A and B are shown apart, each in its own frame.
Chain A
Amino acid sequence: MRKFLAIVKREYVQRVRSKLFVLMTILAPLLVAFFGIVPTLIFGIRGGPVRIAVVDQTGKLYAHLAKAVASDTQSEATPDVTAIKNANLTERFQFATPGGRKIELYQVDLDGRTIDEIRADLDHQIRSKQIHGYVVLPADVLTHSRPQFFGANTVDLFTKRTLEQSINRALREQRLRQANIDTRTIDELSKPVELRTVGIGPAGEERDSGERFLLVFAAGFVMYLTILLYGQMVLGAIIEEKETRIAEVLFSSVRPFTLMLGKLVGVSLVALTQLTIWGIGFLVLALYGVNLLASRGVPMHVPAVPPTHILFFGLFFLLGYFVYATIYAFLGSMVTTPQEGGQLAMPIILLLVVGFYFFLPVSQSPDSSFAFWVSMTPFFAPITMMVRIATQVPPFWQIALSLLIGLGTILLLMWIASRIYRIGMLMYGKRASVSEVLRWVRQP
């Protein structure tokens, strides 16, 4: 036991003290934050206002359209009339889209011009980049003809969709008005609905507007990353001991199984330490950071995480870690160089990646039979079961069964690994063949 602890201690102390560990602990959250923030920034870069001119030949639709665009883009429909740049454009509305991109609407003064004259003028404005596009609402659009959109960039699906929906709504409102329904009724009837998402968990109702998904995703991602990272660490540690021939001295002092288990446990403690540090960091962010950000005008909502979820995260992390790290351990003892180790580890990494891809289908239908079976498979359970727990807590017996299957798999893998390891570690020269390895497993 003392020897086992000595191995665990060495593995732990050496790694936690290393610069790499400190660096990873600090850098990883920054990296995650970086990948979280950069896309938003990129969207922000594209998001200069899209200026759209509106040719309203009916003379009745523009106000409705402006209102509709406003409610579609979830911003205040306050007409901004102070900045009129073009004499032909009388009124200007500015609306922010969720992606940060704004749509600016301008009403074109008809001045008794023909549609061709107006279009020629607007085409010119598009080319000179004063506007991005224009919408023509023909006089008879309320009865039969179709509105048209002309634009420099017809690929901008978001703008197109927003305009389409808004025009539809504007037309509907005008038609209702013409049917002599009074304004208040119309407003009442056409009030837009925002779907309010409420998760029903064991803890009760909880408001959610996207953060929970992010949290589930982050949990799955951290799970995937940590298992991969620390599995690779075990592989590296074992190859080092074989390559430098330390194994022979070690084996003259401890049983190979004690040594292997000590390494696996030692590295797992390093991983748990790192996860705990990140967890505490997250907690501090949740408790203080959110308030701080809110006070500076950055609203953020951290969904409540039940303590049982944290416990399950820990358990499923250990499950995944020991499944993969044990495989890494015997792979490490079969090869002679890190390069060979990398090659052999490829299929294992693929397995882990596949498990990560199950994230989406499982989070969409966490109680499907597919979700059930993948969360019972030890190779995928850490991520898939965690996603299930975070989206819609499965019956407890399923969680327990998944853990039990995992434990059984770990014990079996360890037995196989210890038999390969004790011989493989002392075999120098060349990579062991599969038939050789199978013989080692059978050998008493």
Chain B
Amino acid sequence: MNDSDITVKLNSIRKSFGEFTAVKDLSLQVKAGRIFGLLGPNGAGKTTTIRMIVNITGPDSGSIELFGRHITPELQDRIGYLPEERGLYKRMKVGDQLKFFAELKNVSSKKIDRRIDEWLERVKLTEWKKKRAMDLSKGMQQKIQFIMAVLHEPDLVILDEPFSGLDPVNVELLKEVVLDLKRAGKTIIFSTHQMELAERICDDICLINRSEKILDGSLRQIKQSFSRNAVALRLEGSHDVLNNNGLVTHVEIHSDELEVLLAPGVSAQQLLKKLVESDVSVSKFEMIEPSLHDIFIEKVTEAA
């Protein structure tokens, strides 16, 4: 792969605060034009890692490359960052506020006004432009903060828990915006501890726990490699057919469903064929994919 296709490259970076090591020899690559999920429980080191990518703090050792270049303060202008801990100037008008933060990203003031109006319309806050931030609800403030991160049209957008505390309608709204950004060729780093959310939008992920990376790669590949070859079934009639046929190693009975583990080398097709041949009627037949949550739990317990 060509280096310019890599937006962020961390080479075994390490960061300590006193005795505590927040990030331990972390290496990862964020590919251009994709949504990269930086996942892990609270306190895993996600925010510290992001702060180093944004050049708020520097690593104690290791190196960081952005857009194929060694990190410099000037590159900050090409990054949009929505931190988990975020705020607005309470007494400043929303429009002025957005303009100020765009100016801090070196956007010429001529372009700003039009873009501010477009974005406010997109998140349905046009009529709030002249209001002070303290007059906005928390959800509205969060959308303004989101605009702050993308207003200067950065090539890399870093969103730390962008959806926390939002109602479902606004989550959908912002999710759409994120997907649009991806379509426009932007690279997005999406940090969260909510695995289900990450599963829905990420292309690639990196799982970190206790300051260390435990897993990374494309979401699809990871899921495949963790596939336990299990099938969820709902059968009308007796399920004796499942026993002693050499295809199934384990059957788990839930309230109205069965979860069966296929024997090594057996494909789901073979099982389905067998079921169709027998007398039972099949009302549900679905390959079970492991959730990120399960994978995470598995990897963490494995490591411990």
Contacts and interface: CB of A to CB of B under 8 A. Distances in A.
The judgment on whether A and B are partners is: yes
A206 B77 CA distance: 60
Given A252-B54, A254-B104, A428 B85 contact: yes
B246 interface: no
A3 B56 contact: no
A6 interface: yes
Contacts of B92: 10, 14
Contact of A10 (B18, B73, B77, B100): B100
Contacts of B20: none
B83 A2 contact: no
Contacts of A439: 18
Interface string B126-155: 000000000000000000010010000000
Task: Report whether over half of chain A's contact residues are helix, strand or loop; otherwise say mixed.
Answer: helix
B76 A252 contact: yes
Interface in B31-72: 51, 54-57
A250 interface: yes
A387 interface: no
B87 A252 contact: no
B205 interface: no
A6 B103 CA distance: 6
B101 interface: yes
Contacts, number: 68
B105 A246 contact: no
A10 B91 CA distance: 12
Size range of the chain B interface in the assembly: 20 to 34
B101 A253 contact: yes
A244 interface: yes
Contacts of B57: 426
B202 interface: no
B84 to A, nearest CB: 9
A18 B105 CA distance: 26
A245 B89 CA distance: 10
B50 to A, nearest CB: 9
Interface of A: 2-3, 6-7, 10, 14, 18, 240, 243-246, 248-255, 426, 428, 439
Given A10-B100, A249-B101, 6 more contacts: A243-B87, A248-B83, A248-B85, A249-B81, A249-B87, A252-B79
19 contacts: A3-B104, A3-B106, A6-B104, A7-B104, A10-B96, A14-B92, A18-B91, A240-B89, A244-B88, A246-B88, A248-B51, A249-B81, A249-B82, A249-B83, A249-B101, A249-B145, A252-B76, A426-B56, A428-B85
**Which 3 residue pairs spanning A and B have beta carbons closest together?**
A244-B87, A6-B103, A253-B104
